[in-house]
Amino acid sequence: MNLPASPSGARDPRPSVTQQRVLDRIAAQRERLSARRAQRLVVQAQADNGQAPGADLPLVQRLVWFTREHPVVVAAVAGAALMAGPRRLVRWAGVALPLILKLRGR
């Protein structure tokens, strides 16, 4: 019942150029995903230890960490912003934002 494999149906052990490109992209994606996973584990370990996040982390992650560590301060700033009103906030942002950007550019 077993038929011998035909030469046309035999698999070539080496991938073609197109297949190799796909395999290379898959390998690169796996490396990126493992690097992201490792970075996420480091961030979680730092959060569990209560350490401040490094300066190399994105701003959003640092803000999330600050919000978790200092909820009273965040609530106070939000309350002050609500009391000040939108017009005053826009005015102060116009004054403070250039100063912050100048300090950040150093």
What are the pLDDT digits (tens) for 32-91?
Answer: 999 999 998 888 877 667 666 677 778 788 888 888 889 999 999 999 989 989 899 899
Compute CA distances 99 → 44, 63, 82, 93, 105, whole Å: 32, 20, 23, 10, 10
pLDDT of residue 88: 92
Domain locations in the chain?
15-54, 70-106
Alpha helices in the chain (DSSP H): 17-49, 59-69, 71-84, 86-104
| Residue 43 neighbours by CB under 8 Å, 6+ apart | 53, 57, 61
The answer to whether residue 18 scores a pLDDT higher than 70 is yes
The answer to whether residue 106 scores a pLDDT higher than 70 is no
pLDDT of residue 36: 94
